[in-house]
Structure 1
């Protein structure tokens, strides 16, 4: 389906918002940000996360007051007013907070607009690396304004995969662990975008994945020609009450099929 004018306008809005978010994050990255632990195993949060979230909420909410709001740093599971909106912002102010705390540049701002649960506009911006991935439904995907495309390997032999080491434990692969070359990046959104860019052939996470980590980057990878599903092969849907999916698998269609055969034990 061709890109719609409303989706393109939302993409422009997200791009402006992401660039401003990057400027805020850089100030904290070059200085000193307070760090807290959220508790209940949720991990750390910093002043930068909260400052970026506040800016995005104000900027995007003013521009699109009729949209819902789902952000990691805005009580995402408690405030369900977003479910009443067909269109919703899905935001991770800083994806890769631990990397940010450690002064590693591989963190990202992940922004998306969803329509009835499907992403229609997306930006993943890595300010310290000067990388801006973007996509609009039906309009393809870009990196710094230039079109990108996922690789299309025929199978897993020799293919590269962005994946945490525990996810390749044979217990998860009744059909056999795929013979892939493993690498890793800290930001889940960046991992998906890198598949869209074609720098890596696939990515996989076994663990439940929050909407704000994956909604935008899933559109980027999909528009670049990858197939993106949950770990069971089902389509991803966003802005539901639980705001998470059972893992993510992204790769060109043939490799995706082979990976799903390994995960499920069914013949490809």
Structure 2
């Protein structure tokens, strides 16, 4: 019999594939879009359709698990459960609405503050990234590993433009990396896990649903994921946010050192 993490991984991978089938029907078809309160960005009818399906499918299979999703109103009940689903129905909604390809379905299972199973699926790229705790990271079934690059001046890093502003860095001097960008945070983390980029970083308060699955995939690919101060990430927190994220292979220590210590 497979262990619980392996069974959970099988469950969330199949759910992510089902999410892709729903999202494809809306993609490029001018779905209805609303703006969330407090400048939290857009949400489309596709986000809500995927969220509803995932919650029904996953909680039916694991009724004792908690639920944390970007598109479901949060409550404290998840804090009393031993395991939780952490879900972003469509990560990269703006890209989805614009008809681009770089959006994903991100599903994770947390236990004791740690992610133990993860799936990030990009339907239009036919790319399924997955990992279970201690089981390695994979892309479409093949093993993946992070980059061994440890020199900043040779590094390719995924980040938005604001992240590289001088005021975010020690001595007001951003590191000499080459910056790139992708819309989905989960996809950025998976590209690091795959070794296509040396690191990714964001300094804004970051919701758990954006990073939970990607964090385990990077770690199981041999990388390191922390907040912007180099501190370990914990999941299923009362306020489900991290103080930024730095994820990388061998480059991670050098990037964190450039950021300095927390004040």
Structure 1 length normalisation: TM-score? 0.95
1:25 to 23, 26, 36: 23
1:17 and 1:224 mapped to 2: Cα distance? 22
Give the SS at the match of 1:247.
strand
1:150 aligns with 2:157: no
Deviation at 1:92, TM superposition (A): 0.2
Give the SS at the match of 1:89.
strand
1:260 and 1:93 mapped to 2: Cα distance? 30
Give the SS at the match of 1:206.
strand
1:59 aligns with 2:57: yes
Deviation at 1:32, TM superposition (A): 3.0
1:43 to 35, 41, 44: 41
Partner of 1:8: 6
Give the SS at the match of 1:91.
strand
Partner of 1:197: 194
1:94 to 85, 90, 94: 90
Give the SS at the match of 2:15.
helix
1:222 aligns with 2:226: no
1:31 and 1:165 mapped to 2: Cα distance? 30
Verify the 8 A CA contact 1:72 1:92 in the aligned structure 2: yes
Write out per-residue CA displacement over residues 178-221 of structure 1, whole angstroms, 9 at most, x where no aligned residue.
Answer: 11110000000000010000010000001111000000000001
Deviation at 1:154, TM superposition (A): 2.3
Question: 1:215–1:265: structure 2 CA closer, same or farther, 3 Å change rule?
Answer: closer
1:169 to 165, 172, 195: 165
Task: List structure 1 segments (4+ residues) > 4 angstroms apart after TM superposition.
Answer: none
1:243 to 216, 240, 245: 240
2:30 and 2:39 mapped to 1: Cα distance? 24
Verify the 8 A CA contact 1:173 1:265 in the aligned structure 2: no
2:205 and 2:184 mapped to 1: Cα distance? 15
Question: How many equivalent residue pairs?
Answer: 260
Verify the 8 A CA contact 2:28 2:97 in the aligned structure 1: no
1:105 and 1:177 mapped to 2: Cα distance? 30
Deviation at 1:30, TM superposition (A): 4.0
1:67-86 map, 5 Å: 67-76=65-74, 79-86=75-82
- Coordinate RMSD, CA, aligned: 1.2
1:139 to 135, 140, 159: 135
